[in-house]
Structure 1
């Protein structure tokens, strides 16, 4: 799978593994519509027996699920596929062999990409080898973003609260809050409240600010028709619950100056190897370059993939 790793600005083309390119043939589905049966989904349901749409919408979007869950061993994910999806099991085994032995699950409501990046962004600062340097670099980037948002038409009153939530979390990594405490893993889980909204706005701003690079890749995800930048952003970036694809991932990694590695768990291929798509902006700080955010993609949903440097005893 192609990687966005060159220094010149590039956007990855759509691939068969992307959310907007399902493997099934739409024309076949229209001629032979599937028969729908009511299915009761519970935490104990074997997801290998469900369709991709059921997996995403019913298993991960439960409003009772936390926005971000505790770190869990990837064995739990493997167990969900062992009764019927050997190709997925192979891929999970491959990830574990590469040192990815745990995940953080996110609520699957269409905001899971932005939510995962937002949480992992702050979590990486917490566990940076030099937290002070990492936080200072992050603040330098973040504190310049309100003016960028205003320059493309966002009103400060719309984004200010979301911005403050994210900024305070970042600052609290090294600076005590009003209670005299700095941020911890437990506190981050407790205080994490929708900073992904701000990341959506940042993604939209980056696309609008760089029309030459993004405009050629803006297509309606269902119709495949080209879209104007403003229309694309309003319908598929700004709006809550809209899934992210390569364009959005590229834009967000650039404006935050972070590296994002996405592992595609799609059950394809016979070797069990997992393809990683790497989003690497032209300019990244030393901290960002050494600590990429790793995400696990299953068709239509993103979780946080925990790599070797973050193995913990939380479970």
Structure 2
């Protein structure tokens, strides 16, 4: 497969910098143990978190190996105590491990895809879960077609995910079935991982475009705050790689994949990390995918 390319209509809307634009800071962020995080603006929280991400591991793999939450806690030892309390509270709730991802603007889509396949691997009835998942993903062709995407644009990207899912129950070209180790290897491979990201971005865009009445009231430019048309919003902030996901994109993608997503917000504003639920599975009681959000970044939470 060749390197993933942006759909033509998206490339026209994307500027030369494929990275997400950070909010403009109102003042330099100088954090001490005495700093009241609740007084910081959203832009300052974003900058603070980017400092932690950049200082910790600037060359982090696309999806890193599973580590205990204590490793994440160490990154905040010299910062606000509220961050530490939120992390400790997550551990008390049973979230003892984490897969950290590269902060490249694609972390939400990559994290969700990795956790989605991990959930299939852990299913007590893999054959049924895989069959259901493949049927759902193949059916998204109708949604993508309705949104105006040509099959030649999305089929290779879609196939990258279905091939990984099929590998859960059937051997690949090397004769091996998928396990957590090989799943990590696949998502650390830039070509495979980025193909999956592009497919999920196109699927998210298709979901928004197909239901404009539901999403239009929430489509705003994330920095300028001006209202955008669905097509304009999708081209600039969904289809374009390196653009971060917010509530709208999370809602749309979880609906398209008919999966439950539960996100813990680690923002240092209180003693407890707030959870936000996106319940969109056919069976609401289905176990959710757990992600951790820090301003501007998503990681994968792994419950015990």
Please classify the TM superposition score into its range, dividing by the shorter chain length. Answer: 0.7 to 0.9
Scaled by the length of structure 2, what TM-score is found? 0.81
- The Cα of 1:153 is off from its aligned counterpart by 1.5
- 2:33 matched residue in structure 1: none
Q: Does 1:112 align with 2:111?
A: no
What's the counterpart of residue 293 of structure 1? 289
Partner of 2:272: 273
Does 2:240 align with 1:239?
yes
Given candidates 151, 154, 157, the residue that maps to 1:156 is 151
1:46-61 matches, within 5 Å, as 51-56=48-53, 58-59=54-55
Distance 1:67-1:21 versus aligned 2 partners, 3 A rule: closer
Tell me: CA distance 1:225–1:259, structure 2 relative to 1, closer, same or farther (3 Å).
Answer: same
Matched, 1:180 2:181: no
CA-to-partner distance for each residue in 1:17-45, whole Å, 9 max, x for gaps?
xx9997xxx7x92xxx5499xxxxxxxxx
**Structure 1: gaps of 5 or more residues:** 1-18, 37-47, 309-315
1:259-314 Cα offsets, whole Å, 9 max, x none, are 01000000112xx2111000112xx244x842211000011000000112xxxxxx
* 1:198-234 Cα shifts (integer Å, max 9, x gaps): 1011000000000110011111111111110100000
100-109 or 185-194, larger mean C-alpha shift = 185-194
2:272 match: secondary structure: coil
- 2:108·2:244 contact (CA, 8 Å) conserved in 1? yes
2:103 and 2:228 map into 1 onto residues whose CA distance is 26
Query: Counterparts of 2:29 and 2:95 in 1: how far apart (Å)?
Result: 38
Contact 2:73 2:87 in 1 (8 A): yes
Q: Is the 8 A contact 1:113 1:302 kept in 2?
A: yes
For 2:211, the equivalent position in structure 1 comes to 210
Change (3 A) 1:21 1:69: closer
Is the 2:120–2:130 contact (alpha carbons within 8 Å) kept by the matching residues of 1? yes
* Residue 252 (structure 1) aligns with: 253
Displaced runs of 4+ in structure 1, greater than 6 A? 19-22
Instruction: Provide the secondary structure at the position in 2 that maps to 1:189.
Output: helix
State whether residues 60 and 106 of structure 1, in contact with CA within 8 Å, keep that contact through their aligned partners in structure 2: no
Aligned-pair Cα RMSD in Å: 2.4
Distance 1:276 1:86 in 2: 19
Paired residues, what number? 264
Distance (Å, rounded) in 2 between the aligned partners of 1:252 and 1:21: 23
Cα gap change, 1:35 to 1:185, in 2 (>3 Å):
closer
1:73 to 68, 71, 83: 68
CA distance in 2 between partners of 1:292 and 1:59 (Å): 31
Distance 2:74 2:121 in 1: 30
Distance 1:160 1:60 in 2: 37
**For residues 293 and 203 of structure 1, what CA distance do their matches in structure 2 show?**
17
TM-score, with length taken from structure 1:
0.78
